[in-house]
Each structure stands twice: as C-alpha cells, then as structure tokens.
Amino acid sequence: MRTLYWRSWRTFWYNTKKRQNQRGNYKMLHHKSMPYRRLAMLTLALVMLVALISACGKKDGGTVLATYKGGEVTDKEFDKYIAFQTIMGNQMAMYVSIPQFKEQIVKQYIISKELIKGVSEEDKKKAKTAADTFKKQLETARNTQADLKQHMEDSDLSVKEAVALFQEASEFQSYYAAKGEEFKPKVTEDEIKAEYAKDPSDFNEVTVRHILIKVNDPQTGPVRTDEEALKIAKEVKAKLDAGGDWKELAKQYSEDDGSKENGGLYEKQKAGGWVAGFKEAANTQEIGKIGEPVQSEFGYHVMKVESRVATPYEKLSDTDKDGIRIAIASVKVNEFLTAEQDKLEIKVTLPEEPSPSASGTPSASPSASPSASPSASPSASPSAAAK
C-alpha cells in the first residue's frame, strides 16, 4: 500500500521515455497512453500527470487533516485538491472515499508540494508557461460548459487555484523526471538481466491483426455494454471465418483509429507495449488462426496473430535495454520518494467512519456508502460531480 500512490508517476515517466524510443503506432493499445475523460480540451500532456501531485495554494481555514515537519493540511485545502482531480478526470478522486487510500493520497499530496521547493528556476519558468496556457483553456471551458462551472462553484475552487495546482503539477513532473534521469546511470547490467527474466515474453516481436469493438472510450467514457460489444465481435469473427476481407471489415467495424485503415495491422511490435488482455492473446494465441474475441480494458478484439518471434536477452536492442533501465530507475525513484516521506513524519487524522449499525436499519441501501473497489468506474466527470 505504501508505494501504490507513486505508481502513476512511475508509469508516466516510464511510458513517456519508452514511447520516445519506440517505433510503431500504439494509438489505441498502448498502456494508458490517451487522456482519460471528456475534458481533453483542457489538457496539455500534463493532464494525465496530476493524479498524484500538486498543492492547493492559499488556505482558507478548516479542520486540520494532517501535520508534518514544516506545516499542516486542512480538510478544505485537501477537498479543493480532490475537486481539481475530478476536473482533470483522474481516478484518485474516486479512491478518496476509501479511508486507506485517502490517507495515502494525503501523504503523497504533502511530499509532492514539499519536494517541488527544490525545482530549478528554469523548470519553474516552464511550468508557469504551461500553466498560462492551461488557464486560457480552463477559462474557455468554464464559460462554455455549465457542469464544469457548477462543479467549480460547488467546490469553491477558483480558476486561480486550479491554475496554481496545474503549475505545481508541472513542477513536480520536472522533479520526478529529473530524479529518474539521475537514477538511470546507476542501474547495472545484472539488474537489467534480472528484470528481463521476470517476463521475457514482453519482448516477443509480434505481428497481429485485430478489429476492436469498444466498450469504453478513454476520452468519452462508456460506449456500449459488454454484451453488446461481444455480440458484434462474434459477428465480425463469423464474417472473417467465412472469408471476409480484413481491410474491408476493419474499416467497417474497428474502433481502433490506430489500425482500422490498415486492415487492423500492427506489424513487428513488442508485446510488452500493449495492454494486458491484448498482450496475453498476442503472446499465446495460435499463429495464423482467428481466435475467439479477446477482452481488454477498451472492449473486445477479434485477433489473428500472423507471426511471433521471441527475443533472447542477447538479442535485445539498445532501445529495449534502455526501456528496462528506465523501469528499474523508476522503482528506485519510488523508493526515494517513500524515504523522503518518512523524513517528514506525516500524521494523518481522518474523521471517524460511521459504524455499519449506526443507522439502526440493517436493510439500509448499500448504495449509500462509497464503493471500495479499485476496479469501479473511473473518476466522475464534472457533470456527474455536480449532480
């Protein structure tokens, strides 16, 4: 649990560096590579980064939620931070209703705003430039989207405060990336070999065709039910089994913009770059055969693996090794951040949770309590938050 809240930053830095080195189109299938909710018009590249960082600026009273060496955090300050998370569509806003997660989010909030005090003046200037652009986008969206405006008013979150949060997010992005680069040269060859050995299949070079029928869209949310998507996927498979043309059917059915115009083709790609369900099928499905529809976080894929070649460690490219080096360095950054957190001696005091029997009515609706499932629906949009 202690290291969970740094995972999004680790994933961001790792995937950013890996995409800089990779070739090929992962527009739909790459790990979390797309903005998450419909407020994409508000975002720069930093939008996905705000999930685990930043501060709230000026305090306006409230109950002390946490103390640490050098300061304290009130519930009002933290609530504005969460309101900002909701605007950006980040999943942490959902998890805050779970006490164990909320405590960890409070701690990361504190360590993040403390560490950005060490950011260089150059990085601060870059963050200010990004924040100025974000301000214009936010003001436009607030003036044109009633649900966003209402959410900000209900949360007592001003544009100025939101922009300050965004700027601090940008500063921490720079801090985290710099730390990653600092640890990279310290990664040894033995560590790289050990990391590779954990899952060599990530480095299989796979050529695959697929047609995606969406259940969820990273930008707009739910598209259709699982049942509806699976039914369409089975229809597509039946047409392919009957001799249907991949190019024609991909154009007609596929909702993967990265491959639909190319017959659903991803050619000679490393399997480790794909999301879990797709990767598993790419690594195990019988070559040359159209498999049963495969489920991923996006929906259902009708897939045909055309080739699959293993890559032994000795054959890894410098780019592959650098990707592993980045992943290992990101773990070291995570350990560093945890150590820095310990130095602050953070003490979080959460309100007492109501007893299950407090209502006196055992048959009370379970929907009255927040979901504790990490796999529940992603963070609410401003329109949902405003209801």
Q: Let me know whether 322 and 304 are in one domain.
A: no
Number of domains in the chain: 2
Tell whether 191 and 211 lie within a shared domain: no
Residues 331 and 231 in one domain: no
Evaluate whether residue 80 is within a structural domain.
yes
Q: Is residue 125 part of a domain?
A: yes
Does 150 lie in the same domain as 111? yes
Please tell me the predicted confidence (pLDDT) of residue 225. Answer: 95
pLDDT by residue (tens digit) across 302-312? 999 999 999 99
Q: Is residue 75 part of a domain?
A: yes
Query: Is residue 47, in this structure, part of any structural domain at all?
Result: no
Give residue 227's domain range.
205-309
User: Is residue 382's pLDDT more than 80?
Assistant: no
- Whether 265 maps to a domain, the answer reads yes
Q: What is the mean pLDDT of the chain?
A: 79
pLDDT band at 125 (very low <50, low <70, confident <90, very high): very high
Q: How many CB atoms lie within 10 A of CB 233?
A: 22
- Same structural domain for residues 237 and 298? yes
Give the CATH number, domain containing residue 318.
1.10.4030
Q: How large is the average pLDDT for residues 105-117?
A: 91
Residue 19: the pLDDT is 43
Choosing from 276, 309, 342, the residue where a domain stops is 309
The CATH number of the domain where 266 resides is what? 3.10.50.40
Based on the domain organization, do 127 and 91 belong to the same domain? yes
Average pLDDT over residues 175-199: 95
Q: Is residue 70 domain-shared with residue 128, that is, in the same domain?
A: yes
pLDDT tens digit sequence for 69-84:
989 999 999 999 888 8
User: What length does the chain have?
Assistant: 387
Question: What pLDDT digit, counting tens, does each position of 212-226 carry?
Answer: 999 988 777 789 999
**Model confidence pLDDT, tens digit, residues 44-76:** 333 333 333 333 334 446 899 999 998 999 999
Pull the structure tokens for residue 199: 């899952």
Max Cα-Cα span within the chain: 69
